[in-house]
Structure 1
Amino acid sequence: MASRSGQLSWKRTALLGLVSLGHLLQPVAAVKETDFKKCDQSGFCKRNRQYADDVSTQGSSFTSPYEILPESASFRDGQLEAVILKTINDQKETVRLPITVSFLESGTARVTVDEERRQKKDVEFRYDTRARKERYNEAEQLVIVGGLTLDGNAQVTHQDESQITVKYGPSSSFEAVIRLSPFGIDFKRDGATHIKLNDGGLLNVEHWRPKVDYIYEIPDPDTEGQKPLEEAPPPVKREDETTWWDEFFGGNTDSKPRGPESVGLDISFVGYEHVYGIPEHASSMSLKETRGGEGQYTDPYRLYNADVFEYILDSPMTLYGSIPFMQAHKRQSSVGVFWLNAAETWVDITKTKASSNPLAKTTTTHTHWMSESGLLDVFVFLGPTPHDITKDYSQLTGTTTMPQEFAIGYHQCRWNYVSDDDVKDVDRRMDRYKIPYDVIWLDLEYTDDRKFFTWDEHMFKDPIAMGKKLQESMRQLVLLIDPHIKNKEGYSVLSELTSKDLAVRNKDDKNYDGWCWPGSSHWVDCFNPKAIEWWATLFKYDKFQGTLENTFIWNDMNEPSVFNGPEVTMPKDNLHYGDWEHRDVHNLNGMTFHNATFQALLSRKPGELRRPFVLTRSFYAGSQRYGAMWTGDNQADWGHLAMSLPMILNQGIAGYPFGGSDVGGFFGNPESDLLTRWYQAGAFFPFFRAHAHIDARRREPYLLSEPYRGIVTAAVRLRYSLLPAWYTAFFHAHRDGSPIVRPMFWTHPSEEAGFGVDDQLFLGSTGLLHKPVVEKDTESVDIFIPDDEIYYDYFTYQPLKTSRGKRVTVSAPLDRTGLLMRGGHIIPRRDTPRRSAQLMRFDDYTLVVTVNKAGTAEGELYVDDGDSYDYQNGQFIHRAFRMADGSITSVDAQGRDTRAVEAGAWLKAMDAVHVDKIIVVGAPAAWDRKEVTVQSGGETWTVPVKYHAAEKGRAAFAVVGRVGARIGEDWTVKLA
């Protein structure tokens, strides 16, 4: 659903109970950028940027005030501990900053800098006692799930008064050179430096200090002549304290009881021109420079989860989620960093060219990371491949949850389906027009007066009957549940929330009251374990009446969105569980709510153990463990369609691959050609959902006139026929963090011309290369070809004349999208049209083989029951297919003896599922024969084959069928 929208009518405004907030609801055409901070309006960002400017101005005369005390350094069991001493300018004072450098078994290094707290004895001071004094240090507990085992083989290979060198990682090929004065670390692989910390001297830890009114010496009773206290002189201010203790923006005041406590650090990627990641931004996948210049940005990339409706494109402006994970790539080498800090964060990016050889210039990317509070905690990954970076990051934060199979089908949504009859009518009409779909969604209006866990009894008179009607065709229902709880007397959920003391508190330690869709609201504090336990009770079938086993959940507005709050979110000086300020945990907030709902769905019924489905809008590193995300309130225009690709690709390489955008655009009314093209694109998003604003015209696909309706239906059916390939890609994402849809640099890390390409994608490892049409009145696409392999048009089998590193023009009239098949792959499909994914569970398979230049092909299929966790106990089928030497074979991909697996009900049912046919594209003329031999399970039989010779514009292909081999058994088809 949307954030507050200027498109609401005043009638609806009155219904919302927001009349008193009329100034918030004036009509707007796009996001009000003035509602959100720029760097120079964010006190700590401005200070850190100024610090960087001062360092640059001083040049070689600047000396970083941070140094490691040599005598403090100790190394044991893969971990270096020491103390950094910060010298405070002109004051001859020092601050002690404990540093830990951990070398992990995976080859990842972790650098953590904290601060020793101290009390000044020579001054009197006042400070606010509301918030905790130590730096926020609990992000690890919520984000990190593994991968922290220390590398026992790491060792110090050199140590003197200037530096310490540690070798670690695979075959001790990684090296960390820790400079003591000034402090800095160079990370090397095979002797070459790839990442530098504090090379530019921008390390800046704003140390804790008291809020001083008057500074004076404490009188000593043994000393005569001491000045009376009331005559003490006022302090001399040495720094601009304007934003130290409070800050003002948009009519809101942020009190800062702990004062300034930001952390900043420069991280340089030596020899790397391209850096990617740090979603979510409506920007290119390869990140731009942020210090101005043609085509660049003037503000840093901001990571501060916010409800930015109708967001603008090509901007570093913050959006709904944030993952502070960045990777850099150059030819045959990838490295990365993960900045574990949940506070508001800004990242500046600049690039410099330098080389001793003028004919071989290299580019180094410099990044400057700045967070408002918390620890300096950064993980360093040395690769060397994109897959290594993704895998090592996933060891820390987890992989995407294995979804139910219905979740990767098509989802039909709008704000709002207004009644249970409306839902049943949409369901009926989708069937009437033979458009497959798996899930229908209910937005805010299904509730009674916007009270979650209730139903509008006038419009949804019998939700149980509605749910059962959907169950008949194996379809699901998703309901919206947001974190704000309507502040209304007699509402049982509110009563429980407040009586159990589970709500977020304001700076005065009272339950925070803000405004969202229900009007006055309180917010569930899901940092509190007791709140998660309580939240789970609300989803029990007997508690949330009207829900069934096919009911799942959508978490929206969990940034959190607060209509009358600063930057449309919660005040930073609010308090959470443990008395941590909201400023410390803001970017984690959405994930804690997502997690609470995920856990709740796991426990709706004892012994149920079905996989949850929960969609979230707000996210952080680790959110991938709980379900899908989407890119928020986009617009129905061609620009937003085009931008959805780099946004989704960037999510995937940042560890959150289960993403999509609202098909058709949330705001506005797309023309038929735009809507059609969006469906063609959306069919290749991992999360495939159409959605529309309450003021948008109804645009269910069956409402389109011909030819558009038929074209959209074909796009949806294409998605369903390829569900086996999609599910296999999800399996790999779940196993090792691999992106589900992959950019060119990830699949072809040596092809430099593809490093900036973000308008096309590969589907997993299937060899399917997709580029949708994203411009009006366009009937062809120019697809970048990253290698020297042969490519075939998916629809026509036309072999394309391609050249590595060049683009090939592919015909894409309105009824077709740009979809190629790379030679050398075997793609599993299910070709029988059905109404939903679950109705296809026991259909036979088609295998599409694309012959490469060497005359071979490989592929795989992973399948389980698509619903339970039985796959963890061996209840799955994972096949590896190979074509070589005139034969196609299928073996267990994990080398298991499948006969030793005790089959459960699903696996037994799969005995009746076979390979129906095999289509071999690019089949040689030698295969022009009437039948071929199949061997499986000790038996041999023949099946017919039909050979189609090459014609103009089409490769030769052979169709083998019906093959008849069980999909879960070993088999061989002898073609020659």
Structure 2
Amino acid sequence: MEAVTPREVSVQDEAVDKSTFKKCNQIAFYRRQKLLHPGKSSYRALLESVTLSDENVKFQIIHEENKVLLQVEICEIEGNIFRLKIDEASPLRARYKVRDVLIKEPTTQRLFISQNEGGILVLSSVNEDYKLQVIANPFQVELQSKGETILSMNSNGLLYFEHLQPKPTAENEEAASDSSKETQEDLGLWQEKFGSFLDIKAHGPSSVGVDFSLRGYDHVYGIPQHTEGLLLKNTSDGDAYRLYNLDIFGHKIHDKIGIYGSVPLLLAHKPNRTSGIFWLNSSETLVDISTKAVHGLSGSAAETAKQKAVPLTDVRWMSESGIIDVFLLMGPTAFDVFKQFAQLTGTQALPPLFSLGYHQCRWNYEDEQDVKAVDAGFDEHDIPYDVIWLDIEHTDGKRYFTWDKKKFQNPRKMQEHLRKKKRKLVIIVDPHIKVDPKYTLYSQAKDKGYFVKDRNGQDFEGICWPGSSCYLDFTNPEVRKWYADQFAFKTYKGSTNILFVWNDMNEPSVFKGAELTMQKDAVHYNNWEHREVHNLYGFYQQMATAEGLIKRSSGKERPFVLTRSFFAGSQKYGAVWTGDNTADWSYLKISIPMLLTNSMAGISFCGADVGGFIGDPEPELLVRWYQAGAYQPFFRGHSNMESKRREPWLFGEKNTQIIREAIKERYVLLPYLYTLFYRAHTAAEPVMRPLWVEFPGNIETFGVENEYMLGNALLVHPVTEKDAKAVSVLLPGSAEVRMNIYTVTFQTILPWLCFLQIPVFQRGGTVIPLKTTAGKSTEWMVDTSYELHVALDTEASAIGELYLDDGHSFQYLHKKQFLYRKFTFHKSILSSRDESGQYQTMCVVERVIVLGFGHQPTFVTACSKDGKEKEVVFTYDTKTSALTLENLALSLAADWKICVN
């Protein structure tokens, strides 16, 4: 079979043909579930079946019509988390349960039965803050906090559970009337057609779903990934949010179709309370959302009469298969919900420092000479960068773990050249393997039976970049171990320890497959169909890749792996990006809420291709995208092979200067950014976060998506409009915020614009650590001195912190080789003290800028821990109230104080 050329694919997909992908009403299990309308549930709880153990409470529910019994398990997990599972009591065969996403089986806390009579079962938590009320008929569960109902399950009666049944016999099928056959076919019970594709459902229909009502909430977020705004919208138009990982080249703006990755986590927020729902199911999932105002949600009749209409958001989850396994995250703050989700799925991996620098990528840098020329171009134009990337053309005929022998004759020498420049290389490794018996990777995998099978038991073959390809079954732990071993230096010829990895096309992408992905009736490890594990495929490849990079270093070095496809828990293994975006202002604008949504779903290390992957950005758009990307977690310029070359110096000196300054701003900011990643790693705090997370009581912030907080200290407002003459910046809160030499108060909307910069404000009451200057790459900056920006609040106080380690190893984890400093400005004294760790550094704090200092000091002194005191040189700007302290040379690793008198 001939290979599909890049030209064929890109032209074919230049404008997305929506008929390639299903609309909601073309999805059989969705149509079946939507036949069940809100009303009284057909399920009744058998409360006489209740059993109580230290681990959970169990009871059965029964469907009043088909009499099928389901087993319900409820448990409380420490930290205000409740888990509810529903499975068949006696299934025909085991139903799929998601593995490997949870970092461990959660530790449960004992629930107590405080009532079981009158058709009501009341379960109380250990601390008595929460109660679960189970109503028997119709079956419903309410979760209450201090007497207030936070959410309820099945209150709209939409619990849906297709129990497994024997396949109809030929005699039964013959006996069925033609109309019955048509109905079965229309509902897609045992097979489903889409275009020319036929999906045979070997085990029949197995869809599950249920509704949740969130009381008092009308702002909901999450369930990435979609090219959508920050706030989730009502789906009353029949267009549900789809969680189904798909390769959609040039995905449309404001579309609820799933792209690339899925995290089935939804957050709901109202003033000063946040809750979350984590739906642990890796099959195709659709989510309906409806928000309305209702009266009298709780309380006595007299109280109800006084109540005004309050919002109620209904969320309906519908999955093709598996069981119902849902975690209710009770917060009560957004940061509590982030920690609760991380407690289940893990925190963001601490990335190596180089990966927070700037990355330069293109499909494709042609050969070794091209790589060296681009690398030299950054030095020639005084632009920092850390990593250059190679796309699929670097391989020998799209065979991964190989090199094109003509274009990359000596890849090791090329990497040694980059190493001397203190830079790194990232290469692409996709999951499809070229069908070629002479290709060692293919022949080994085939001999070992490591490929996904088709429904007939043969190796599944699809078309991707190499042409005819087979797909490694990463759901198999043995395959993952074997795959990890491929990264060993002795196996991956020409690789070195500065080579890192990009996993692309791992939805998985299949060019001539149904919806450009793998057939759902393909078969994986342990005989599970692809429909069960589809959204986990990329998750497993990234897991195996990260483990391979760690293994090749004998467990000493942190990996860097970027993946396009992801699931809940992918944050443990590296970074993600938003995929094949377009060089258009609308894609720059939508990238902000997309990244915020990923961040709220646990994946802090995320970014969007700077400049847009598809097409040619005009210079103004490219400049604005660099300015935005410099303040986002993953910072990579990337472009399609059909796009014109767009290295940062190709757009005229004026634009080169602005891009240079944006990238240098990023490098100066790295101490603060690295500290934020440490917080994400240890405390599950998103690096990039919506305004409402920091200002949970300010309703004005709840829908803001054109600006965001970078950590708790910086407010960033990218410019996303062409020819913008001004932007309006919302500055929420009651403290003060400062930007450069200006002081403005919160609770204002500030018009601001400058083409050389974008609005970035430092929040009053914070201290930000910075480098005094940018270097050629992060490794060039190891010994560069630091400066602190201290923005005082209305009480003339501020706090901040700095995390520092060697930037590449696991020594911070195993031997506490790190520094964690806390900076405090209070009563005119700035102090630095050690919080923990024992990392040695020769770096010093050279400069301090205090914004908002109310008067000119008489003198300033610095005092080290040993009691030595010295006078400090300072300048004070009376117009801006900015105090600058110079030539400090205070050890970063030691305690000290600066007294301003």
TM-score, normalised on structure 2? Answer: 0.96
Determine helix, strand or coil for the equivalent of 1:113.
strand
2:381 to 433, 449, 455: 433
- Residue of structure 1 in register with 2:203 after alignment: 258
Q: Structure 1 residues 26 and 870, CA, compared in 2 at 3 Å: closer, same or farther?
A: closer
Which residue identity lines up with residue 51 of structure 1 in the other structure?
L
> Residue by residue, what CA displacement relative to the aligned partner does 1:821-880 show, whole Å, maximum 9, x if unpaired?
111111100022210011112221100111111111111101111100000121111011
Deviation at 1:769, TM superposition (A): 0.6
The number of equivalent residue pairs is: 890
Tell me if the contact between 2:770 and 2:786 (Cα under 8 Å) persists in the aligned partners.
yes
Tell me if the contact between 1:156 and 1:164 (Cα under 8 Å) persists in the aligned partners.
yes
- Residue of structure 2 in register with 1:538 after alignment: 486
Tell me if the contact between 2:267 and 2:277 (Cα under 8 Å) persists in the aligned partners.
yes
Following the alignment from structure 2 to structure 1, what is the Cα–Cα distance between the partners of residues 442 and 87? 39
> Residue by residue, what CA displacement relative to the aligned partner does 1:417-459 show, whole Å, maximum 9, x if unpaired?
0001111111111011110000000000000111111100101
- Residue of structure 1 in register with 2:846 after alignment: 916
1:387 to 322, 329, 335: 335
Q: Structure 1 residues 136 and 626, CA, compared in 2 at 3 Å: closer, same or farther?
A: same
1:961 aligns with 2:886: yes
- Residue of structure 1 in register with 2:300 after alignment: none
1:763 aligns with 2:693: no
> Residue by residue, what CA displacement relative to the aligned partner does 1:328-377 show, whole Å, maximum 9, x if unpaired?
00001111110000000000001110135688431111011100000111
Which residue identity lines up with residue 53 of structure 2 in the other structure?
R
Q: Structure 1 residues 24 and 353, CA, compared in 2 at 3 Å: closer, same or farther?
A: same
Following the alignment from structure 2 to structure 1, what is the Cα–Cα distance between the partners of residues 559 and 550? 6
Deviation at 1:939, TM superposition (A): 3.0
Q: Structure 1 residues 405 and 605, CA, compared in 2 at 3 Å: closer, same or farther?
A: closer
1:615 to 555, 558, 562: 562
Tell me if the contact between 2:277 and 2:329 (Cα under 8 Å) persists in the aligned partners.
yes
Deviation at 1:704, TM superposition (A): 2.1
Determine helix, strand or coil for the equivalent of 1:700.
coil
1:63 to 37, 40, 43: 40
2:616 to 648, 660, 669: 669
Following the alignment from structure 1 to structure 2, what is the Cα–Cα distance between the partners of residues 582 and 235? 31
Deviation at 1:161, TM superposition (A): 4.2
- Residue of structure 2 in register with 1:3 after alignment: none
Deviation at 1:146, TM superposition (A): 3.5
Which residue identity lines up with residue 182 of structure 1 in the other structure?
P
Q: Structure 1 residues 239 and 968, CA, compared in 2 at 3 Å: closer, same or farther?
A: farther
Following the alignment from structure 2 to structure 1, what is the Cα–Cα distance between the partners of residues 690 and 83? 28
Which residue identity lines up with residue 815 of structure 1 in the other structure?
L
Which residue identity lines up with residue 798 of structure 1 in the other structure?
Y
Following the alignment from structure 1 to structure 2, what is the Cα–Cα distance between the partners of residues 280 and 231? 44
Tell me if the contact between 1:272 and 1:329 (Cα under 8 Å) persists in the aligned partners.
yes
2:865 to 927, 937, 951: 937
Determine helix, strand or coil for the equivalent of 1:136.
coil
Tell me if the contact between 2:227 and 2:590 (Cα under 8 Å) persists in the aligned partners.
yes
- Residue of structure 1 in register with 2:351 after alignment: 403
2:543 to 590, 595, 599: 595
Tell me if the contact between 1:199 and 1:267 (Cα under 8 Å) persists in the aligned partners.
yes
1:17 aligns with 2:6: no
Deviation at 1:588, TM superposition (A): 0.6
TM-score, normalised on structure 1? Answer: 0.89
1:247 to 168, 192, 198: 192
Following the alignment from structure 1 to structure 2, what is the Cα–Cα distance between the partners of residues 971 and 828? 15
1:553 aligns with 2:501: yes
Following the alignment from structure 1 to structure 2, what is the Cα–Cα distance between the partners of residues 427 and 731? 30
Following the alignment from structure 1 to structure 2, what is the Cα–Cα distance between the partners of residues 943 and 652? 44
- Residue of structure 1 in register with 2:123 after alignment: 166
Following the alignment from structure 1 to structure 2, what is the Cα–Cα distance between the partners of residues 50 and 617? 35
> Residue by residue, what CA displacement relative to the aligned partner does 1:645-688 show, whole Å, maximum 9, x if unpaired?
00000001111111000000000000100000000000011000
1:948 aligns with 2:896: no
- Residue of structure 1 in register with 2:227 after alignment: 282
2:236 to 280, 291, 312: 291
Matches within 5 A, 1:620-659: 620-659=567-606
Tell me if the contact between 1:214 and 1:234 (Cα under 8 Å) persists in the aligned partners.
no
Which residue identity lines up with residue 184 of structure 2 in the other structure?
E
Determine helix, strand or coil for the equivalent of 2:653.
coil
Following the alignment from structure 2 to structure 1, what is the Cα–Cα distance between the partners of residues 778 and 652? 26
Following the alignment from structure 1 to structure 2, what is the Cα–Cα distance between the partners of residues 187 and 215? 48
Matches within 5 A, 1:342-741: 342-356=282-296, 360-606=308-554, 609-741=556-688
Determine helix, strand or coil for the equivalent of 1:114.
strand
1:98 to 59, 71, 74: 71
Following the alignment from structure 1 to structure 2, what is the Cα–Cα distance between the partners of residues 232 and 261? 24
Q: Structure 1 residues 355 and 511, CA, compared in 2 at 3 Å: closer, same or farther?
A: same
- Residue of structure 2 in register with 1:79 after alignment: 56
Following the alignment from structure 1 to structure 2, what is the Cα–Cα distance between the partners of residues 443 and 253? 33
- Residue of structure 1 in register with 2:255 after alignment: 315
> Residue by residue, what CA displacement relative to the aligned partner does 1:141-180 show, whole Å, maximum 9, x if unpaired?
310014710113x3111111412111216x3201111112
- Residue of structure 1 in register with 2:276 after alignment: 336
Which residue identity lines up with residue 424 of structure 2 in the other structure?
Q
Following the alignment from structure 1 to structure 2, what is the Cα–Cα distance between the partners of residues 49 and 968? 62
- Residue of structure 2 in register with 1:884 after alignment: 826
Following the alignment from structure 1 to structure 2, what is the Cα–Cα distance between the partners of residues 233 and 43? 20
Following the alignment from structure 1 to structure 2, what is the Cα–Cα distance between the partners of residues 699 and 538? 33
Q: Structure 1 residues 238 and 98, CA, compared in 2 at 3 Å: closer, same or farther?
A: farther
Deviation at 1:779, TM superposition (A): 3.4
Q: Structure 1 residues 699 and 611, CA, compared in 2 at 3 Å: closer, same or farther?
A: same
> Residue by residue, what CA displacement relative to the aligned partner does 1:791-816 show, whole Å, maximum 9, x if unpaired?
2223xx1112x452x42212x22111
Q: Structure 1 residues 233 and 647, CA, compared in 2 at 3 Å: closer, same or farther?
A: closer
Q: Structure 1 residues 671 and 205, CA, compared in 2 at 3 Å: closer, same or farther?
A: same
Following the alignment from structure 1 to structure 2, what is the Cα–Cα distance between the partners of residues 410 and 971? 33
Which residue identity lines up with residue 136 of structure 1 in the other structure?
Y
Identity over aligned residues, as a percent? 38
Give 5+ residue unaligned stretches, structure 1: 1-13, 56-61, 120-132, 217-229, 293-297, 902-906
Deviation at 1:212, TM superposition (A): 2.4
Tell me if the contact between 1:213 and 1:235 (Cα under 8 Å) persists in the aligned partners.
no
1:822 to 763, 773, 776: 763
Following the alignment from structure 2 to structure 1, what is the Cα–Cα distance between the partners of residues 503 and 42? 45
Tell me if the contact between 1:933 and 1:940 (Cα under 8 Å) persists in the aligned partners.
no
Determine helix, strand or coil for the equivalent of 2:258.
coil
Which residue identity lines up with residue 224 of structure 2 in the other structure?
P
> Residue by residue, what CA displacement relative to the aligned partner does 1:461-517 show, whole Å, maximum 9, x if unpaired?
111111011111211100000000000121111001100111100001111111000
Which residue identity lines up with residue 240 of structure 1 in the other structure?
T
- Residue of structure 2 in register with 1:833 after alignment: 774
Which residue identity lines up with residue 950 of structure 1 in the other structure?
T
1:36 aligns with 2:36: no
- Residue of structure 1 in register with 2:81 after alignment: 108
Superposition RMSD in Å: 2.0
- Residue of structure 1 in register with 2:301 after alignment: none
1:774 aligns with 2:720: yes
- Residue of structure 2 in register with 1:326 after alignment: 266
Following the alignment from structure 1 to structure 2, what is the Cα–Cα distance between the partners of residues 251 and 813? 54
Whichever of the two has the greater Rg, that structure is 1
Q: Structure 1 residues 474 and 24, CA, compared in 2 at 3 Å: closer, same or farther?
A: closer
Q: Structure 1 residues 147 and 920, CA, compared in 2 at 3 Å: closer, same or farther?
A: farther
Which residue identity lines up with residue 96 of structure 2 in the other structure?
Y
- Residue of structure 1 in register with 2:161 after alignment: 205
